[in-house]
């Protein structure tokens, strides 16, 4: 298959190399031509613009810093819209705006071109080794048509849903990670200032329940099925633990903003009369604020968990 690739930065360079190593012909473009040297050495062709890449390709992939760059490459002068023809496709691998991808989908559809958002997750090492998730939103038939190319780029291409769905999944993933990162910074600084060495804390907590579980797997037992009775660990006991951590932070003058927000959530849930229910029931408060009901059938959760 004739593949075009635009954006040969930290992630894109490796992804594009994997595509050509997967025996697809490759045409590349980047604002820095030197970035294409490894690709050209193994048979890729250089194009002088996104339009030229598009004209030479059955499918084009972009890996760019963000929405402004994606929009410029897609719709700007000498952009993809001017080079792609009916029956071809455009996948954006960037972490991008679902709103922008929906708009591009509409514009390109007028020319009979499929647009799919396909953000990736795996970091530079995953891009290099191909051990990388690709979350795709768009037409499912187009996803299946180009799956052989996606399979050369990552080991876990996954169809999420309509256009924009891939971007939404990526933003949920990344935002969760950064919120957890901020929480870990709070709790570790509290522990260090209270007298423990960071390596000792790290070694200790890795063996606990949180350390042993995959981050998102913990949603499967209570939050996703909406099952909070009988409790695995009662809310009133969990709130006590968080209150103790906040007290320790105050004692050692460690700012604990996220911890106090968590304590406030738990206190509100206690005031609802939920103290003897599972500690994760405080997550329902956010569901109420967002006007979202979450209740996934047990069979569907089991199906997802068994995919590993």
Catalytic residues: 170
The SS3 call for residue 224 is coil
How is residue 216 annotated by DSSP?
G
Closest to 183 in 3D by CA, of 234, 253, 255, 111: 255
Separation CA 90–CA 137 (nearest Å): 12
């Amino acid at each position: 298959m004739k593949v075009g690739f635009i954006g040969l930065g930290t992630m894109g360079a490796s992804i594009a190399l994997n595509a050509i190593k997967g025996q697809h012909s490759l045409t590349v473009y980047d604002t820095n031509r030197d970035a294409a040297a490894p690709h050209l050495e193994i048979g890729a062709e250089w194009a002088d613009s996104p339009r030229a890449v598009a004209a030479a390709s059955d499918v084009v992939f972009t890996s760019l810093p963000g929405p402004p760059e994606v929009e410029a490459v897609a719709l700007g002068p000498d952009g993809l819209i001017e080079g792609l023809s009916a029956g071809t496709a455009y996948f954006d691998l960037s972490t991008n705006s679902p709103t922008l991808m929906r708009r591009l989908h509409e514009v390109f559809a007028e020319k009979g071109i499929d647009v799919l958002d396909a953000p990736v997750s795996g970091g530079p090492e995953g891009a290099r080794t191909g051990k990388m998730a690709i979350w795709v939103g768009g037409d499912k038939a187009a996803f299946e048509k180009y799956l052989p190319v996606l399979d050369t780029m990552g080991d876990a291409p996954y169809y999420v849903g309509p256009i924009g769905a891939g971007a939404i999944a990526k933003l949920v993933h990344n935002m969760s990670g950064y919120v957890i990162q901020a929480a870990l910074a709070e709790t570790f600084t509290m522990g260090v200032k209270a007298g423990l060495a960071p390596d000792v804390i790290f070694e200790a907590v890795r063996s606990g329940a949180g350390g042993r579980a995959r981050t998102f797997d913990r949603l499967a037992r209570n939050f996703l099925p909406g099952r909070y009775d009988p409790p695995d660990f009662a809310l009133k006991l969990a709130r006590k633990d968080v209150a103790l951590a906040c007290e320790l932070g105050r004692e050692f003058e460690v700012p604990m903003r996220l911890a106090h927000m968590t304590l406030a959530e738990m206190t509100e849930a206690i005031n609802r009369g939920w103290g003897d229910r599972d500690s994760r029931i405080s997550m329902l408060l956010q569901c109420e604020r967002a006007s979202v009901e979450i209740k996934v059938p047990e069979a569907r959760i089991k199906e997802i968990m068994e995919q590993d």
